[in-house]
Amino acid sequence: MLYHVAMDVRLPRDLPADERADILARERAYSQDLQRGGKWRHIWRVAGQYANVSIFDVADNAELHDILSGLPLFPFMEITVTPLLRHPSAIREDDS
């Protein structure tokens, strides 16, 4: 199942630099692992914001929830999830 996921990050300004660096390094490793495995299909940065728009390809809501709640930045995120369905007018067979 495909999901459109918008993530806005709100790190506290007073977060110590070493803690911030650690969280960001763990976030990068976790997300790149999911990308390599095909679960996190696409990720785009939102210009001018500390935010991204992503497409996830997972079995169901529960798997997506587990993935998102495992993000090291999860406690500092506002996340909006939209389930996606193939449009009947779509011409590409590989986008489902």
pLDDT in tens, 29-63: 999 999 999 999 999 999 999 999 999 999 999 99
Residue 90 has a pLDDT of: 87
Rounded Cα–Cα distance for residues 67 and 5 (Å): 12
Residue 87 has a pLDDT of: 87
- For the entire predicted model, the pTM comes to 0.90
Q: How many domains does the chain have?
A: 1
Q: Is residue 26 part of a domain?
A: yes
- For residue 77, CA distances in Å to 59, 93, 96 come to 23, 33, 27
Q: Is residue 96 part of a domain?
A: no
We report the CATH number of the domain holding residue 47 as 3.30.70.1060
Q: What pLDDT digit, counting tens, does each position of 3-31 carry?
A: 999 999 999 999 999 999 999 999 999 99
Q: Is beta strand 51-57 parallel, antiparallel or unpaired with respect to 77-84?
A: unpaired
Q: Is residue 93 part of a domain?
A: no
pLDDT classification of 96: cutoffs 50, 70, 90: low
Q: Is residue 94 part of a domain?
A: no
